[in-house]
Amino acid sequence: MATISDVAREAGVSIATVSRVFNDSSLVSATTRRRVAAVATRLRYWPNGIARSLITSRTHTLGAFLPDLHGEFFSEVIHGVDLAARERGFHLLVSRASSGADELTATLRSIRGRVDGLIIMAPEIDADALRRVSGSARVVLVNPKRPIPGLGSISIANLAGARAVVLHLIGLGHRRIATIAGPERNTDARQRLEGYRLAMTESGLPAAPELVLHGDFSEHSGYEAAGALLSLNPRPTAVFIANDYMAVGALGAFHDAGLRVPEDVALAGFDDIPLARYLTPPLTTVHVDMLRLGQRAVERLLDAPRPGSHAESHELLGTTLAVRKSCGRNGDGARDRERPPAG
Amino acid sequence: MATISDVAREAGVSIATVSRVFNDSSLVSATTRRRVAAVATRLRYWPNGIARSLITSRTHTLGAFLPDLHGEFFSEVIHGVDLAARERGFHLLVSRASSGADELTATLRSIRGRVDGLIIMAPEIDADALRRVSGSARVVLVNPKRPIPGLGSISIANLAGARAVVLHLIGLGHRRIATIAGPERNTDARQRLEGYRLAMTESGLPAAPELVLHGDFSEHSGYEAAGALLSLNPRPTAVFIANDYMAVGALGAFHDAGLRVPEDVALAGFDDIPLARYLTPPLTTVHVDMLRLGQRAVERLLDAPRPGSHAESHELLGTTLAVRKSCGRNGDGARDRERPPAG
DNA sequence: TTGTATGCGTTATCAT
DNA sequence: ATGATAACGCATACAA
């Protein structure tokens, strides 16, 4: 590959001039510029990004760390991040963030200097560790356990979304509403459970302990939990399930038990994975705009005036209610907007 | 951030020695090594990857260019690429490859020097353009229009997969089998259509022109094409559809027309997107292991002895048949293996 | 408007 | 076993 000196020599100028041409400096005469450009084209020269980064200490690259790279959920986040990053001329370094905080910090350390900013979706990350390894890169946390002072973060409005869908169920006339919550230590799961409780309480409905079951967000655990629900007496007439994958499992369990959805039992999920609308019946669920989540993360990372400003605050991404058939009635495509987020 | 000189100064050694410590050179005494390591830890020093890359001209980074970053299909490829890359200590730079060959070459040029290897899934890419912009990076093409001499490539065994599923349909007793093919100029679509024709011909079945319809791989176009199929007389008893998204649409069309699947008409797809098994009825389809596709691409990129070897050949990724309910009979989970790839 | 020279943080080469 | 010093390819302060 040709270097800047090759071009300089061929064009009969100094490397400084070549550099100026490629950095759109106004300090180059039109004639020189043309000559240099011509030589560069002939030699197929293009500035080496690595060398550039070394001296400018800017890489025009963003790092994105997600718990998983597959699944309908995270692929949407990546897509959003890519859209926003590309719009700003940034490249994207992606990596899986799972398998423990230690491995994550090791990876983070190894890419220090290779990225200008970091989007991190890893609930278990430790605030101090993060500060130690992030170097000079800006950081935005996605869905952290709790906001970390001094760092920007963005989360899904879990509580408001869960509350809205449970109120929807209540509005449909249901009184005995169960929930299949996520893992007890998972933040999203907790907040969604809070939303369920809030909706029940403010509607004067008892949230009996027996109505609250826990799964691990997997389809299988949804199947199991739904089975347990069947033995309740009286049986709940509706179930709010903390994520769509578990809802898929629950749907299977009810189907296997010969129950009709929504006639015998109504079902609502959370996330609105693409699959949700293809289920039989199509699943009513809380729609989370993952693409937007990715975009917002980038925006907050790159569009902030400077470190130390308002950027380092917590932001909530609102949800909407995707009303389909699994709760019965009004499921003909109408869309309820959720109420303003309450947390 | 501390640099190598900071550590050297504090430890009372030269920068060369510090470098040796971090590169596991045997030319350092145990005592010195310990002292340097201690200082490095205290100063939180870690070698700057950019500076390292500049002199070694190795980045330990792979570039992956895909037509789309979302969708159930490509997210699996990325996942596979990530798994294999991480296993070898490589980072991953991802980017969307769509929106024209020009934009792609521009992006490629701008990351030249930032990656050691390139995985490119972009049918429209021009061979010469690719050579011009790839620099010293190795390249593996995924699903190219046709193999490019001198470059490694890997494709899905479209023809064999399509042939296998159509033979499956024939084995089930179907004689009048239609197909909804993909876009006429799309390579995957063409090969899958060829597979359909091959299976029909070798079974002595007429592949009447009226039995071949074209969609654009979208759900909607599948719906439309299936509608057109309904007016055929006699109606086909089975349909092979060139991808699962169109099969979803076709399923909807048959449902809307009051036809039962598989009793009135059998349906088979291609790709085996995660959604396929959740449809009603679950879709029989050609399973493509996208994760493996991503992994193989990385393996061929990084595990090749050296440029110029056998690595620069074309490889076919075999498919399997996922037999579910949409074709009737034997749909109880049994799995037919496809015959050895014929193309 | 252009050129010279320095430095970015590291590894590699040659001494010692 | 260790140290000086020259690259790597570029941007930029300073000189001209």
Here the CATH number for the domain that contains residue A197 is 3.40.50.2300
Mean pLDDT of B22-31: 91
Give just the sign of the alpha carbon dihedral A210, A211, A216, A219: positive
Instruction: Note whether B67 and B40 are same-domain residues.
Output: no
Looking at the structure, do residues A44 and A185 belong to the same domain, yes or no? Answer: no
**Do both B209 and B331 map to the same domain?**
yes
Of B50, B61, B275, the CB nearest to A113: B50
**Does one domain contain both B66 and B181?**
no
Residue B104, C-beta contacts closer than 8 angstroms, at least 6 positions apart: B65, B97, B122, B125
CA of A235 to C1' of C8 (A): 70
How far apart (Å, rounded) are the C-alpha atoms in residues A234 and A229? 10
pLDDT at A274: 86
**Pick from B61, B92, B279: CB nearest A278:** B279
**In the A/B pair of chains, how many CB contacts fall below 8 A?**
126
Band of pLDDT at residue B342, cut at 50, 70 and 90: very low
Which has the higher per-residue pLDDT, B342 or A131?
Answer: A131
Summarize the confidence of residues B258-286 as an average pLDDT.
94
For β-strands B284-287 and B320-322, DSSP reports them as antiparallel
Question: Over chain A, what is the mean pLDDT?
Answer: 89
Count of domains in chain B? 3
pLDDT in tens, A226-250: 999 999 999 999 999 999 999 999 9
Tell me: do B124 and B231 sit in the same domain: no
Instruction: Give yes or no: residues A265 and A172 share one domain.
Output: yes
The span from the CA of B184 to the CA of A253, in Å, is 43
Q: Which residue of chain B has the CA closest to A67?
A: B79
Q: How many other C-beta atoms lie within 10 A of the C-beta of residue A182?
A: 25
Would you state the pLDDT for residue A11? 95
Higher pLDDT, A159 or B187: A159
State the pTM of this model. 0.88
Beta strand pairing call for A314-317 and A284-287? unpaired
Tens digits of per-residue pLDDT, B110-162? 998 999 999 999 877 888 888 888 878 899 999 888 888 888 899 999 999 99
Could you say which of B56, B77, B94 is where a domain stops? B56
- Regarding whether A14 and A91 lie in a shared domain, the answer is no
Residue B30's CB: how many other CB atoms inside 10 A? Answer: 7
Query: B171 and B282 in one domain?
Result: yes
Within 13 Å and on the Cβ side, how many CA atoms surround B256? 11
Task: Check whether residue B11 and residue B80 sit in a common domain.
Answer: no
pLDDT at B245 over 80: yes
- Whether the predicted pLDDT of A309 surpasses 60: no
Q: Check residue B310 and give its pLDDT.
A: 55
| Domain shared by A32 and A68, yes or no | no
pLDDT, residue B48, reads: 95
Is the per-residue pLDDT at B305 higher than 70? no
Whether residue B279 is found in the same domain as residue B235: yes
Q: Which residues of B touch A244 (CB under 8 A)?
A: none
Q: Is B339's pLDDT higher than 50? A: no
Least confident of A68-77, B24-33, B84-93, B103-112: A68-77
**Helix H segments across chain B?**
4-11, 15-22, 30-43, 49-56, 71-87, 101-110, 127-134, 158-171, 187-202, 219-230, 244-256, 290-302
> A24 lies in which domain range?
4-56
Count the neighbouring beta carbons within 10 Å of the beta carbon of residue B274.
17
Same-domain status, A248 and A143: no
Provide the token pair at B325. Answer: 């309910």
Per-residue confidence at A130, pLDDT binned at 50, 70, 90? Answer: confident
* Residue-level pLDDT at B336: 39
- Distance of alpha carbon A270 from alpha carbon A164, whole angstroms: 11
Q: What percent of chain B has pLDDT over 70?
A: 92
Nearest nucleotide (C1') to the CA of residue B14? D3
Taking only the tens place, the pLDDT of each residue in B182-223 is 999 889 999 999 999 999 999 999 879 999 999 999 999 999
Which stretch, A112-126, A309-323, B45-59, has highest mean pLDDT?
A: B45-59
Chain CA centroid to CA B142, Å: 6
Instruction: Name the least confident of A19-23, B40-44, B336-340.
Output: B336-340
Q: Which of B68, B93, B280 sits opposite A91 (nearest CB)?
A: B93
Q: What is the mean pLDDT of residues A280-297?
A: 95
- Residue B27 sits in a domain of what CATH number? 1.10.260.40
**pLDDT the model gives residue A330:** 52
SS3 of residue B20 by DSSP: helix
Distance in Å, alpha carbon of B73 to nearest chain A alpha carbon: 10
Look at residues B19, B38, B56 and tell me which one is the last residue of a structural domain.
Answer: B56
Give the pLDDT of residue A224.
Answer: 97
Whether the CB of A12 is less than 7 Å away from nucleic strand C comes out as: yes
Assign residue A12 a region (left: φ > 0; alpha: ψ between -120 and 50; beta: otherwise): left
Closest CA–CA distance from residue B207 to any residue of chain A (Å): 32
- How far is it, in rounded angstroms, from Cα A328 to Cα B99? 42
Q: Compare all CA atoms of chain A with the CA of B129 and give the residue at the minimum distance.
A: A44
Work out the average pLDDT over A185-214: 95
Render A300-334 in DSSP notation, one character per residue: HHHSSSSTTSTTSSEEEE--EEE--STT-SS-SS-
Judged against a pLDDT cut of 70, whether residue A216 lies above it is answered with yes
Q: What is the pLDDT of residue B333?
A: 33
The DSSP 8-state label assigned to residue B217 in this structure reads S
Note the strand D nucleotides within 7 A of protein beta carbons.
1-5, 7-13
pLDDT at B70: 64
